[in-house]
């Protein structure tokens, strides 16, 4: 299935994932990977595919919004805020997306419901605002 989706020859994909090719003094040797090495190779391929998919998604979003700033920024909550990456990868995007979903759930359950409750009780809340990123979540989903 993977070879078909990647449009590569099945046997060549298996060979790349399971066999290391060494060139020593003009001779080519094929040495099978250990199970651990093969797992690392598989995981590296998966990470590369996800990273490529992430870059493709960002490009598509940027093309849709057609804004000069869009090429470098997608606003998602980084709940801890400790990381300072030049460029985020697909894994970080997924972590931030999950955090944004949690924050949205919190906002909905606390802010939105509290505002409704205040309105029902006749409490003035006109000065209270919060950022609602539901449109960002909808776009990603």
Distance (Å) of CA 62 to CA 36, 66, 73, 93 = 39, 6, 9, 15
* 68 close to 108: Cβ distance less than 8 angstroms: no
Asked if residue 117 has pLDDT above 50, the reply is yes
pLDDT tens for each residue of 27-71: 999 999 999 999 999 999 998 888 888 888 777 776 766 655 544
Average pLDDT, the chain: 79
> Residue 66: its pLDDT value, please?
63
pTM of the model: 0.49
Q: Which DSSP helix (H) or strand (E) runs through 4?
A: helix 2-6
pLDDT above 90 coverage of the chain, percent: 22
> Residue 36: its pLDDT value, please?
95
Dist. CA 9–CA 18, nearest whole Å: 14
pLDDT above 70 coverage of the chain, percent: 77
């Amino acid at each position: 299935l993977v070879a078909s989706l990647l449009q590569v020859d099945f046997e060549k994909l298996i060979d790349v994932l399971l066999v290391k090719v060494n060139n020593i003094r003009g001779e080519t040797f094929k040495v099978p990977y250990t199970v651990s090495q093969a797992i690392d190779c598989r995981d590296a391929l998966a990470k590369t595919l996800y990273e490529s998919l992430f870059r493709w998604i960002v490009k598509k979003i940027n093309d849709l919004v057609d804004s000069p700033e869009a090429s470098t920024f997608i606003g998602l909550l980084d709940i801890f805020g400790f990381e300072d990456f030049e460029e985020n990868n697909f894994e970080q995007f997924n972590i931030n997306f999950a955090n944004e979903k949690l924050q949205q759930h919190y906002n909905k359950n606390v802010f939105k419901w509290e505002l409704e409750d205040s309105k029902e009780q006749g409490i003035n809340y006109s000065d209270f605002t919060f950022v609602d990123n539901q449109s960002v979540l909808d776009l990603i989903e």
